[in-house]
Amino acid sequence: MSASQGSILRLSPADEVGVALRLLPAGVGLNGPDGGILIPAADIPQGHKIALVDLPAGATVHKYGQAIGRTTSAVAAGGHVHSHNLAMAETAAAYEFGTARFQPPAEEGRHFRGYRRRNGLAGTRNYIGILTSVNCSAGTARMIADQFRGPVLDAFPNVDGVMALTHSSGCGMVLGSPGAEVLFRTLSGYARHPNFAGLLVVGLGCEMLQADRLIDDTVSADVVERLVIQESGGVRASVRAGVELVRQMLPVVNRLQRIPIDAAELVLGMNCGGSDGYSGITANPALGVASDRLIGCGGTSVLAETPEVFGAEHLLTRRAVSRAVGERLLERLQWWQEYTGHGGGSLDNNPSPGNKAGGLTTILEKSLGAVAKAGRAELREVVDYAGRIRGPGLVFMDTPGYDPVSVTGIVAGGANVVCFTTGRGSVLGCRPAPSIKLGTNTELFRRMPEDIDINCGEIIDSGVGVEEMGARIFARILETASGRQTVSEELELGQEEFVPWQLGAVT
């Protein structure tokens, strides 16, 4: 990571573009990274790229020392480099497997205070979950959960909350299809999640995915109940019955106590959303440092968002522990090209209008920044969406980039703490897992102070090093796992953001 050079940050010495650290007005000269004078030809918004040298049409442009695309017209030094003159070039990378394996230095004696569940897993929260098998029971589940908001929980200080997990599917699926399997895996993962000390599964009765299938011996919860609306006299009677069942769980769940647990039992889910030009230079690399620290402690860290890795996959295959793991990653990327192709799209569509407004031009550029979250640790495993994360070490989960869907898969897999980087201002919560929001820039932190846990913008404007910011994040992960509330938990966010990936036909 290069130090800031005034108004322009060059990330790698050979880069032809720099990042504007503030709005660079047209015609106003400023010092370039090499000390020469650059005069922006047009206003260059904060976070966007400025040409540091004259670029002919067709020139390969580098950022992070990596190719991010090719100019579609000539750009003079000082010009704004973005969608109007930069497009993704075909990469002809020869994949290497396991040629860049790295194990973060071992670190001993790190603990958090968590809940030891009866199935052996470690919880970081103590929730009662109301899980639904089908959309038809969603209203009922919400009504039950709504009875436990506010002062009614004051008598149960060890209960973090009662939450409903509702979704839009569970019927109208093709039985046995990959889509039905993904939904089942997701719901089962939540049923098993170590942050649920109490679990109530609510079904309608005639749905394809029956409530009983979600309850088995692998759940973490000490108290497990089921309720089927068609067997219980309808909505009103089921709400009454469900409220009573939860009421009986409260004292049981409240008696559970936090105990010291080795940091090795943390499973850190990572994600980014509403990325901007700073994501890849502040919050993501700082999170990469924290991820490596956790892995050094014997813990597990989960990178995901397959479409956002596209273009940087050759960096990950080099880090794979085996050819099989690397090839599994490539196989998933291949699947994604077909999946998005069927919809008439391509993986290049991924940067949203918001991303582009923030200064990211191509998926490739975004991917390099996105992969920075995963630090340097070797890649141990590639798991399916919502598949059980076994760890330790760095695991890749195959998910969409879309935040609620991606994070839902990661939490279903067993993540007990999540770090989420955002430049534009995501407000995602993911209860029952705490979500630590890492802002990429100080302007965001000032604009939405109640939605950001840590301002990684200090890397740019307060001279905090990436290593130091990573250490802060790692410390916050341990504190959060021990019970410190995140901003999204204070707001009780995270019911609406439970969105299992819907794959396949709705019939």
Q: Is residue 202 a contact residue for a second copy (CB under 8 A)? A: no
Query: Residue 331 has which token pair?
Result: 């196989």
How far apart CA 454 and CA 301 sit, in angstroms, is 19
CB closer to a second copy out of 169 and 220? 169
Binds 271: which of Ca ion, a second copy, none (CB < 5-8 Å by kind)? Ca ion
Q: Is residue 136 a contact residue for a second copy (CB under 8 A)? A: yes
How far apart CA 494 and CA 368 sit, in angstroms, is 28
- Residues 212-241 within binding reach of a second copy (CB under 8 A): 229-230, 233-237
Q: What Rg, from alpha-carbon coordinates, does the chain have? A: 24
CB closer to a second copy out of 300 and 399? 399
Q: Is residue 489 a contact residue for a second copy (CB under 8 A)? A: no
Going by DSSP bridges, is the β-strand pair 300-303/393-397 parallel, antiparallel, or unpaired?
parallel
Closest distance to Ca ion from the beta carbon of 80 (Å): 23
Q: How many helices (H) and strands (E) does the chain have?
A: 14, 23
Query: Quick one: which of 160, 365, 398, 451 contacts a second copy (CB under 8 A)?
Result: 451
- Contact (Cβ atoms closer than 8 angstroms) between residue 138 and residue 167: yes
Nearest alpha carbon to residue 301 among 420, 393, 367, 384? 393
CB closer to Ca ion out of 18 and 203? 203
Binds 179: which of Ca ion, a second copy, none (CB < 5-8 Å by kind)? a second copy
Closest distance to Ca ion from the beta carbon of 159 (Å): 22
Binds 245: which of a second copy, Ca ion, none (CB < 5-8 Å by kind)? none
Query: For a second copy, which stretch binds (CB under 8 A), given 42-50, 199-207, 214-222, 475-483?
Result: 199-207
Q: Is residue 48 a contact residue for a second copy (CB under 8 A)? A: no
Helix 235-254, helix 138-146: angle, nearest 10: 50
DSSP 87: E
Burial code (b: 16+ CB inside 10 Å, e: under 16) for 130-167 equals bbbbbbbbbbbbbbbbeebeeeebeebeebbbbbbbbb
Going by DSSP bridges, is the β-strand pair 30-31/37-38 parallel, antiparallel, or unpaired?
antiparallel
Closest distance to Ca ion from the beta carbon of 88 (Å): 17
Query: Residue 127 has which token pair?
Result: 């929730």
CB closer to Ca ion out of 44 and 180? 180
The total number of residues written for the chain in this structure:
507
Q: Is residue 254 a contact residue for a second copy (CB under 8 A)? A: no
- Contact (Cβ atoms closer than 8 angstroms) between residue 332 and residue 303: no
CB closer to a second copy out of 244 and 467? 244
- Residues 390-419 within binding reach of a second copy (CB under 8 A): 400-405
Query: Quick one: which of 220, 426, 455, 486 contacts a second copy (CB under 8 A)?
Result: 426
Complete DSSP assignment for 277-301: TTTTTTHHHHHHHHHHHHHHTT-EE
Q: Is residue 243 a contact residue for a second copy (CB under 8 A)? A: no
CB closer to Ca ion out of 71 and 350? 350
Closest distance to Ca ion from the beta carbon of 406 (Å): 5
Backbone angles phi, psi at 372, to 5 degrees: -60, -25
Q: Is residue 319 a contact residue for a second copy (CB under 8 A)? A: no
Closest distance to Ca ion from the beta carbon of 350 (Å): 7
Closest distance to a second copy from the beta carbon of 280 (Å): 16
Q: Is residue 255 a contact residue for a second copy (CB under 8 A)? A: no
Closest distance to a second copy from the beta carbon of 154 (Å): 19
Closest distance to a second copy from the beta carbon of 365 (Å): 17
Binds 265: which of Ca ion, a second copy, none (CB < 5-8 Å by kind)? none
Closest distance to a second copy from the beta carbon of 295 (Å): 28
Burial code (b: 16+ CB inside 10 Å, e: under 16) for 184-215 equals bbbbbbbbbbbbbbbbbbbbbeebbbbbeebb
